[in-house]
Amino acid sequence: MRVHDSLIGGVLLVLALAVLWHVQGFPPAPGQDFGPAAFPELIAGGLAIASAALTWQGLRTSQPLLTVGEGLRSPRRLLAFAVVIASAVFYILLSEQLGFIVCSLVVLVALQWACGVRVGMGLVVAVVATLAIHAAFYKLLKVPLPWGVLQPVAW
């Protein structure tokens, strides 16, 4: 997916200006000329100049506003792409309540299905991978992965 350089440049220019405006509210360091605002101000200034240059450079090309690659135009691949992001969000939001094992199984089955693995096969891989990752991180490395709904049968 290629977005027009001028569009990206424009958005970044706005971001840089927002940072420049925001750092004006930083308090000065007592007794010194260079407070916490000095460095971000400098960098944001640089970003503003560079993104303005990119915007200007982009305006002189005949690049289309948005080019969507072959991959993203195929519904099957677009779905897989969306499922990756959705499953990460799902994991973040629900892993405390549902627990790691349930979440990992759901994520793995959904993703393998989206990537075109046969459902039965995907299920087997999901179970094996989940148990392996759980054993490695929970048992071996002592990471407190949440049990969630499986708390009563925690091992």
- Restricting to residues 73-112, which ones interact with other proteins according to CB under 8 A? 74, 77-78, 80-81, 83-85, 87-89, 91-92, 95-96, 100, 104, 107-108, 111-112
**Both tokens assigned to 149:** 């709904």
Query: Interface residues for other proteins in 9-28 (CB under 8 A)?
Result: 12, 16, 19, 22-23, 26-27
User: Closest separation between CB of residue 149 and other proteins, Å?
Assistant: 17
User: Closest separation between CB of residue 46 and other proteins, Å?
Assistant: 5
Residue 61 binding other proteins, by CB under 8 A: yes
Among candidate residues 136, 128, 137, 92, the one with its CA nearest the CA of residue 109: 128
Residue 133 binding other proteins, by CB under 8 A: yes
Cβ neighbours for 71, distance < 8 A, ≥ 6 positions apart: 77, 78, 81
Say if CB 146 and CB 100 are below 8 A apart.
Answer: yes
Residue whose CB is less far from other proteins, 22 or 149: 22
For residue 2, the 8-state DSSP code is E
Interhelix angle 38-59/5-23, nearest 10 degrees: 160
Residue 137 binding other proteins, by CB under 8 A: yes
Chain-centroid distance of CA 40 in Å reads 24
User: Closest separation between CB of residue 151 and other proteins, Å?
Assistant: 17
